[in-house]
Copies of this chain bind each other. A is one copy, B any other.
Amino acid sequence: MKIVCEKEKLLKGINSVVKAVANKTTMPILEGILIQTNDNEIKLTTYDLEIGIEYVMNCTIQEQGSAVVNATMFSEIIRKLPDTDILIYMNENNLLVIECEGSLYKLATMNPDEFPELPKIEVEYSIKLEQNILKNMIRKTIFAVSTEENRPIFTGCLFEIIDNKLNVVSVDGFRLALKSNFINTKVNDFKAVIPGKTLNEVNKIMTDSYDTIVIGVAKNQALFEMENCKIVTRILDGEFLNYNNVIPENWDTRIRVNKNNFQNCFERISLISASSSEKEKKYPVKVTIDIGKVTISCTNQTGDAKEEIYVATEGKNLEIGFNPKYFLDALKVIDDEEIYVDFGTSISPAVIRPVDDGEYTYMILPIKLKD
């Protein structure tokens, strides 16, 4: 193998694939990047046995071949080289040689034949959307993915097509986030639960652009395809929550509030709420709704806090307890100026919806207030 490649171009490829490099593995080859030539292209591959990433790019090939090299070392060296052409080749001692101006690096390599093959995927369903749209959908839901491994299905986001609409849903037992988007081309209904970890990496690789991404779903795997880059992931097995049944359709109390003001109140109050000792982590804040006013308050051993905010209210007065973190998580990702918050009784979930975005729904379970 012998190639010549522009530094910035190569670095872009490396930055995309390093996200699937295994760390803390007993198989050193998974800490490597597989470099393969193919005519006038090279392909970079990484695979931690859960997520696999391939990146293809043009470059000058002087000799076909392949190599596996430690990903961290390779990427750090390339990153620090001057912004010019880099010559990379295997020498007679099986070392990967990197030459650029006055710099000469020789790195130990591993056997490319031992690099595990990415699963072959026979796509059954696929949808195409703009990267900025998928990025936004992931950002608005991923934080509510469960971190508890005892119910693995909820460590992923449900991707569901119904009536040509993509719904992305996450739920962790305390709250649920749902973001929807119509797909412009005709697609068949399907469901797949994609691991949260994969979506985090996909999100980092996508740009906030109109460039498209194709999501392909097979029996046990899914595929995200961008221009140069392909991400393969397993999908999670099991029955996801039938979320439509749990989101309340009606409300007894509704407030309409400026999102930023509401967020600031919760940020301040959570300083007091969070300052209670670790054991009392779920010490709630009390939300009190009177006509035209919401009061958020919290008392614990370090102090006492009260926030009053004037809002439009409809329906009954109410007193209800919440973990302020769960409010904040959603408020932070909402870009709209105004939101509705709908409540039932003091033991039923509250629902946040942006006033001007019917495609986002966030539901939070209340916490019982101490008497």
Q: With A and B bound together, what is the CA distance between A39 and B159 in angstroms?
A: 65
In this complex, what residue of B is CB-closest to A76?
A: B271
Does the CB pair B302–A265 fall under 8 Å? no
Q: With A and B bound together, what is the CA distance between A77 and B270 in angstroms?
A: 10
**Sample of 20 more A-B contacts, CB < 8 Å, known A102-B309, A103-B306:** A70-B302, A73-B271, A73-B275, A73-B302, A77-B268, A77-B271, A81-B268, A82-B264, A102-B265, A102-B307, A103-B308, A104-B307, A105-B268, A105-B303, A105-B305, A105-B306, A106-B303, A107-B302, A108-B301, A108-B302
Complex contacts, A76 vs chain B, CB 8 Å: 271
Name A104's contact: one of B271, B275, B302, B305 (CB within 8 Å): B305
> 6 A-B pairs, CB-CB below 8 angstroms?
A77-B271, A80-B268, A80-B271, A102-B310, A105-B305, A107-B303
Q: With A and B bound together, what is the CA distance between A126 and B340 in angstroms?
A: 62
Number of interface residues, chain A, beta carbon within 8 A: 32
Q: With A and B bound together, what is the CA distance between A267 and B304 in angstroms?
A: 51
Q: With A and B bound together, what is the CA distance between A108 and B275 in angstroms?
A: 12
Q: Is A95's beta carbon under 8 Å from chain B? A: yes
Complex contacts, A265 vs chain B, CB 8 Å: 102-103
Q: With A and B bound together, what is the CA distance between A68 and B306 in angstroms?
A: 21
User: Shortest Cβ distance from A208 into chain B, in angstroms?
Assistant: 28
Within 8 A of B (CB), among A263-311: 264-265, 267-268, 271-272, 275, 301-310
Complex contacts, A305 vs chain B, CB 8 Å: 103-106
User: Shortest Cβ distance from A152 into chain B, in angstroms?
Assistant: 36
User: Shortest Cβ distance from A103 into chain B, in angstroms?
Assistant: 5
Complex contacts, A106 vs chain B, CB 8 Å: 303-305
In this complex, what residue of B is CB-closest to A102?
A: B308
Q: With A and B bound together, what is the CA distance between A76 and B267 in angstroms?
A: 10
Complex contacts, A105 vs chain B, CB 8 Å: 268, 272, 303-306
In this complex, what residue of B is CB-closest to A105?
A: B305
Name A73's contact: one of B104, B303, B310 (CB within 8 Å): B303
Complex contacts, A272 vs chain B, CB 8 Å: 73, 105
User: Shortest Cβ distance from A96 into chain B, in angstroms?
Assistant: 8
Does the CB pair B73–A307 fall under 8 Å? no
In this complex, what residue of B is CB-closest to A106?
A: B304
Complex contacts, A108 vs chain B, CB 8 Å: 301-303
Q: With A and B bound together, what is the CA distance between A64 and B265 in angstroms?
A: 30
Complex contacts, A102 vs chain B, CB 8 Å: 265, 307-310
User: Shortest Cβ distance from A93 into chain B, in angstroms?
Assistant: 10
Task: Flag A74-118 by CB within 8 Å of B: 1 or 0 each.
Answer: 001100111000000000000100000011111110000000000
